[in-house]
Structure 1
Amino acid sequence: MTHNAITDVAGVRVGHHHRLGDGWATGTTVVLLPEGTVGGVEGRGGAPGTRETDLLAPENLVRRVDAVCLSGGSAYGLAAADGVTRWLGERGRGFRVGDEPHEVVPIVPAAVVFDLPRSSWGNRPDAEFGYLACERATDGPVDEGSVGAGAGARAGSLKGGVGTASIRVGPVTLGALAVVNARGEAVDLSTGGLWAADIGLADEFPPAAGYAADIDVPLRSDLNTTVGVVAVDAALDKAECRRLAMAAQDGLARALRPAHSLFDGDTVFAAATGVHPVTGAADLDDLYAAAADVFARAVARGVLAATTVGGLRAYRDFWA
């Protein structure tokens, strides 16, 4: 691992664009994928806000995805994917529908989180957010916390945010990125311990530090959603990608309590770049188990890295 981030999967790039202050606390995060990437998706929340998810079903035509757009703004924020589509189209990336280089339709699945209470009404991501996130995408370290689609995120009683992590399984690299905006808690508020701390890398997560006497737990939000991407440099088909996303959802459930509520739209996308062949069900199963762990770590890291926005205080305000 180089960055302990989804960008450790070769060819994957991540970009954020957000606005904070002056009535804004929202943004967009884009995961740009190398050509030939196969996609899948799994949704388990009761209130999803998504685009192009049906296209990723194994029985449907298109196998490849060009990018995944994750955004704040609830259903309004799906407009950010229009900017990602435009950015890719300008570069000739997409499903080819004609003979000319520009005759493509970019495939950009998207999912949104509900962060509207953190901004003045009407302030939400649009196509420009998606375009600018693409412009800023890199294959290096990924900013975490109150950035991009995590700018206005909330995790139970605390500030949520963007988290990312990676892991190696033999020659294969898996990476995850999560936008944590959950109804459930990522932290045991009685101890300060992260629910996913037991599967962290050495020194990745702090030990439980005890009850924070001055914590002022606000009323829980009724509309939420955690979304994300798990990527792997293995050769998987669409059905295997869906199973990878299903495993990542299990990791989400380890890191958040409760998870997949009626008020969450929990959606995880999977992306396989096709570098390493996978032979046999046992190897596949190892990847699925690792996907659960790495996504749980990404969720925990998003909460750990978040900073206070407005009156919504962060983990670091109570437990150093």
Structure 2
Amino acid sequence: MGAITDVPGIRVGHEQKTGDGWLTGVTVVLPPPGTVGSVDVRGGGPGTHETDALDPTTLVSTVDAVVLTGGSAYGLASAHGAQRWCEEHGRGFAVTGGVVPIVPAAAIFDLGRGGDFSARPDAGMGYAATAAAAAQPEGHDVGRGNVGAGTGAVLGRTFKGGVGTASVTLENGVVVGALAVVNALGTPFGTSPERAEPGDFDKPNHRDGLNTTLVVVATNAALDVAECKRTASAAHAGLARALNPSHTLADGDTVFCLSTGAVALDRSTETARQISMITLQSAGADVVRLAILDGVANAEAVSTPAGDYGAYSAGMR
């Protein structure tokens, strides 16, 4: 199904810890310098950092890295490590005396799933995931399943979630890719085994009601910040097509959009511009759906203290 790294210049790094109470991690999407970005947050329980800076009406238009992390709000500290890596490499918004890296982040809730509630990502893990992304070659394979931010991910509060990715190349040479961390309240349409309903919070395997799907959509098409915002909004349709329910009060569903700007869209007329954008945004929704299903299909077929994750992921293979 391809990968987000099919977009030239995009790299992905993972860092995770398991055992001794740990079951969590960090995933960093590292774009080339000058990449434009925005975000659309639709979930009712988001855990985010620096997303306001990506609004089209604000000062900065570029993004230096996107951090996806476990650990709920505590895990957002991992963004500080990614910022440190970017500063060391001169990447950021230029100011007197140096740079200020623009590193938005979003978190899933996986606290305590390894057994220790205090085992959550920190700045060191964020730095390591960013360095891992930077060390990757162009067009590299992306780790899928229970790696990085998907290490402790859960699906439907009972089954294993994880990291997935997909891409598509359009006729005009535009590449659209997506990476998803699936820690959702919902499950894929038409594939759910018999299970408790989402509202059954009292079941032993339903120990927390906090869930999130995090997505990064990337493209080599040249977009401005407002167009990135609109593309992120349109890409949420792919999330809703893949998971039922989605965008609930208990979800922190968030979609980032990154544009490397390498390929110009047809803007010769207003009609041509609209067709170009609609085609791109439709592709974005499609690859988000595929990336989510990919994350579920590649989850480990094992059981953990949070529930019988294996049965569901094995059925998706």
Query: TM-score scaled to structure 2, two decimals?
Result: 0.88
SS of the aligned residue for 2:246 comes to coil
Distance 2:111 2:119 in 1: 8
1:107 counterpart residue number: 102
Q: Judge conservation of contact 2:13–2:28 (CA < 8 Å) in 1.
A: yes
- 1:32 alignment partner, one of 12, 30, 34: 30
After superposition, residues 1-320 of structure 1 pair within 5 angstroms as 4-98=2-96, 103-119=98-114, 120-137=116-133, 138=136, 139=138, 140-156=140-156, 157-170=158-171, 171-186=173-188, 188-189=190-191, 218-219=205-206, 221-278=208-265, 279=267, 280-307=273-300, 308=302, 310-311=304-305, 312=307, 313-314=309-310, 315-318=312-315, 320=317
The residue identity in structure 2 corresponding to 1:118 is R
Specify whether residues 272 and 281 from structure 1 end up closer, same or farther in structure 2 by C-alpha distance, changes over 3 A only. Answer: same
Shift of 1:247: 1.4
The residue identity in structure 2 corresponding to 1:146 is N
Q: Judge conservation of contact 1:152–1:309 (CA < 8 Å) in 2.
A: no
Task: Render the CA deviation track for 1:131-189: whole Å, top value 9, x for unaligned.
Answer: 11012112400010000000000111310000000001121001100000001112535
Percent sequence identity is 53
Distance 1:69 1:148 in 2: 10
Distance 1:287 1:189 in 2: 28
Which aligned runs of 4 or more in structure 1 are off by greater than 4 angstroms? 189-192
How many correspondences in the alignment?
Answer: 292
Distance 2:303 2:99 in 1: 40
Specify whether residues 309 and 62 from structure 1 end up closer, same or farther in structure 2 by C-alpha distance, changes over 3 A only. Answer: farther
SS of the aligned residue for 2:223 comes to coil
Distance 1:239 1:319 in 2: 37
The residue identity in structure 2 corresponding to 1:263 is A
Distance 1:309 1:88 in 2: 37
Q: Judge conservation of contact 2:94–2:100 (CA < 8 Å) in 1.
A: yes
Distance 1:190 1:133 in 2: 33
Distance 1:149 1:224 in 2: 13
Gaps spanning 5+ residues in structure 1: where? 193-215
Shift of 1:20: 1.2
Q: Judge conservation of contact 1:73–1:125 (CA < 8 Å) in 2.
A: yes
Q: Judge conservation of contact 1:183–1:221 (CA < 8 Å) in 2.
A: no
Distance 1:59 1:190 in 2: 41
Task: Render the CA deviation track for 1:250-299: whole Å, top value 9, x for unaligned.
Answer: 10000000000000010110000001111211011000000000000000
Specify whether residues 219 and 121 from structure 1 end up closer, same or farther in structure 2 by C-alpha distance, changes over 3 A only. Answer: closer
Q: Judge conservation of contact 2:150–2:161 (CA < 8 Å) in 1.
A: yes
More divergent stretch after superposition (220-229 vs 235-244): 220-229
The residue identity in structure 2 corresponding to 1:35 is P
Distance 2:262 2:316 in 1: 41
Gaps spanning 5+ residues in structure 2: where? 195-202, 268-272
Query: TM-score scaled to structure 1, two decimals?
Result: 0.87
SS of the aligned residue for 2:212 comes to coil
Specify whether residues 42 and 7 from structure 1 end up closer, same or farther in structure 2 by C-alpha distance, changes over 3 A only. Answer: same
Distance 2:48 2:224 in 1: 22
Distance 2:110 2:144 in 1: 17
The residue identity in structure 2 corresponding to 1:310 is T
Root-mean-square deviation (CA, aligned residues, Å) is 1.8
Specify whether residues 316 and 183 from structure 1 end up closer, same or farther in structure 2 by C-alpha distance, changes over 3 A only. Answer: closer
